[in-house]
Amino acid sequence: MTFALDPSPAPAPAGIKAVCLDLDETLLDVEHASRSALRELVGTDRAWPVWQRITDQHYARYVTDEIGFDAMCVERTKAFFAAFGESLDDAEAACRESLRMAAMQRSWRLFDDVRPCLDWLAATGLRLAVVTNAPGGYQRKKISAVGLAADFDAVVVSGEVGVAKPDPRIFRTACERLGLRPDEVAHVGDRLGTDARGASRAGLHGIWLNRHREECESAGVPAITDLDELPELLVADLVLGTAMEPDRLTPAR
């Protein structure tokens, strides 16, 4: 389903005054960049599922403050090569991670549905923010690299505020920086628990961006499969309706 972007957008949806968005895999196509970097590092991205599994394990340790970001990246690289029988010392792992990171940064790009969606949201008068988990400098560099530096009224990064999604405090920090109550703010992100449910628990309108159409019997929050669907969800449920109904827009299986 694609929402026809009206060249003369309607006024901002009643009740909602701002939309927060996650960065990685919501606005920024990290998988594309990460696969490109893997190809540069080992000549192929056939090991992508292994990289993804190891990344999920190690990123969880970073988000829970068990390990710093740079150390996590080196540990992840060691674990990846160990999975294929190669043992790296810290210096070699750091060197390969540095090459991988440089390759990744050359491949950062937005998903195709981002620019039209941000333009529509801004044209309706909604304020915009990013709420993202990672070091501040790293995320701000990404935002600038893909040309989004002027798009947001607030950029809230876990590495700067000291708490990470799904902790309610990071969502409330975003609301405070926007000068709004949580119930006046929607948050959209690709992680059901970390983004959509986390935001809902903090009192915002959590929306799950289910780009990969993952199976989920009961998301408990409204879901969309691309950002083209976001304007319709906001208008239909927040102007014509009284509230977003959980699961109403969960993709059909």
Contact segment (CB under 5 A) with Mg ion among 51-59, 105-113, 188-196, 227-235 equals 188-196
3-state helix, strand, coil in the chain (%, to 5): 50, 10, 40
Closest CB 24 distance from Mg ion, rounded Å: 4
Q: Binding-site residue total for Mg ion (CB under 5 A)?
A: 4
Q: Which is nearer to Mg ion, 22 or 97 (CB)?
A: 22
Closest CB 230 distance from Mg ion, rounded Å: 15
Q: Which is nearer to Mg ion, 25 or 151 (CB)?
A: 25
Q: Of residues 22, 29, 167, 229, which one binds Mg ion by CB under 5 A?
A: 22
The vertex-133 CA angle with 165 and 181, nearest 5°, equals: 50
Interaction mask 143-172, Mg ion, x per CB under 5 A? ------------------------------
The vertex-76 CA angle with 70 and 80, nearest 5°, equals: 150
Binding of Mg ion by 25 (CB under 5 A)? yes
Closest CB 79 distance from Mg ion, rounded Å: 21
- The interaxial angle of helices 69-82 and 90-105, nearest 10 deg, is 100
Give the strand order in the sheet containing 185-189: 154-157, 127-132, 18-21, 185-189, 205-209, 223-224
Closest CB 178 distance from Mg ion, rounded Å: 20
- 72: nearest Cα among 102, 108, 97, 106: 97
Q: Which is nearer to Mg ion, 11 or 193 (CB)?
A: 193
Q: Of residues 97, 151, 190, 229, which one binds Mg ion by CB under 5 A?
A: 190
Binding of Mg ion by 24 (CB under 5 A)? yes
Q: Give the separation between CA 83 and CA 250, rounded to whole angstroms.
A: 36
Interaction mask 224-243, Mg ion, x per CB under 5 A? --------------------
Closest CB 140 distance from Mg ion, rounded Å: 16
Alpha helices of 64-154 — where are they, by DSSP H? Answer: 69-82, 90-105, 114-123, 136-145
Cβ neighbours of residue 76 under 8 Å, at least 6 residues apart? 54, 55, 58, 97
Q: Strand, helix or coil at 239?
A: helix
- Which residues contact Mg ion (rule: CB under 5 A)? 22, 24-25, 190
